[in-house]
Structure 1
């Protein structure tokens, strides 16, 4: 039993270490003392591996679904966009706030906080799960912080790569839930970096 706990802890720590954060402006210490963020999410210029654009990705996926069952392509496109507010964003916010159990730092949409945290997702790989074969979702994100209302005055920015979902024990047949899992991993890594650099 002890070995199982050790392996689980090792896998968890390895997962967090896999998240690469390259600071491109400012320093982590610039965030010291900020206790609340108005969080906004940006999906502009989103890239999808193996596709020239998000539009091409959607066109391909819709066509394949409609070929099997007419009408399902449109439903897929609708869920692709609605999953952002239904799955990705709530999971990120919940996980971030849960990591700061004492409420020392929190994020909230439309909060009116002095500082804004912008989560710009630049790449999404949705992964797949067809039962016997599955592949984790992946993300790349540019995180930036600025005074609310002054997006041109960024005080901190970092590019996150190698963000990979962990599959929810293999029960991640829905693409929205698979991708949301990667946002959970991202929130965990971000809060770890913030805490470590702002003690």
Structure 2
């Protein structure tokens, strides 16, 4: 009986530790950012997977076919919207919350010494219908480079299962909430590590 209780307690502690480790500094340190006020930022979606579909191309093909089956010609418009949401919603939300909590401004136009590359590895789009909902979530890989050496990153951070809030009916805004959560948590991590 005592062994069973100890085993259950150990499993609970391990599960809690895994849940708390949503972001993980897997390479390097962040102390080099101590006096940095601005970081260049670049977003990369090249190896994105979506939900249970696997490759992004599979997801887009299915969604286009579904839209065109309901109303011919709307599939292409939906795909345009899917890509437009990145610049209109995801990236600004991530940057806004990172800047707010990390006290370092992110900008794509920066000529700063360092460049942050945000790679989206996975998106769960979630859903919101009148009686049921599921939060959107993203997995991100973040690397920071010295612009003088873009082949080798200074640090690498993995951010997994960054979930947005509930209540968004629009898919782009739902996913943007997940990016906002990631930006906030990364900003807080940077702020904590550079102090």
Shorter-chain TM-score bucket reads 0.7 to 0.9
TM-score (norm 2): 0.85
The answer as to 2:154 corresponding to 1:158 is no
Root mean square deviation of aligned Cα: 1.8
Equivalent residue pairs, number:
178
Aligned to 2:169: 173
Aligned to 1:31: 33
Partner of 1:166, secondary structure, is: coil
Deviations 1:92-151 (A, max 9, x none): 112222235xxx421111211110011111101111112211110010000100112532
Partner of 2:49, secondary structure, is: coil
Q: Structure 1 residues 149, 87: closer, same or farther in 2, change over 3 A?
A: farther
TM-score (norm 1): 0.83
Q: 1:196 deviation in Å?
A: 1.1
Q: Which runs of 5+ in 2 are unaligned?
A: 1-18
Moved runs in structure 1, 4+ residues, more than 6 A?
A: none
Partner of 2:189, secondary structure, is: helix
Q: Distance in 2 between matches of 1:28 and 1:150?
A: 17
Q: Structure 1 residues 19, 61: closer, same or farther in 2, change over 3 A?
A: farther
Q: Which runs of 5+ in 1 are unaligned?
A: 1-16
Aligned to 1:108: 107
Aligned to 1:119: 118
Aligned to 2:137: 138
Structure ID, larger Rg: 2
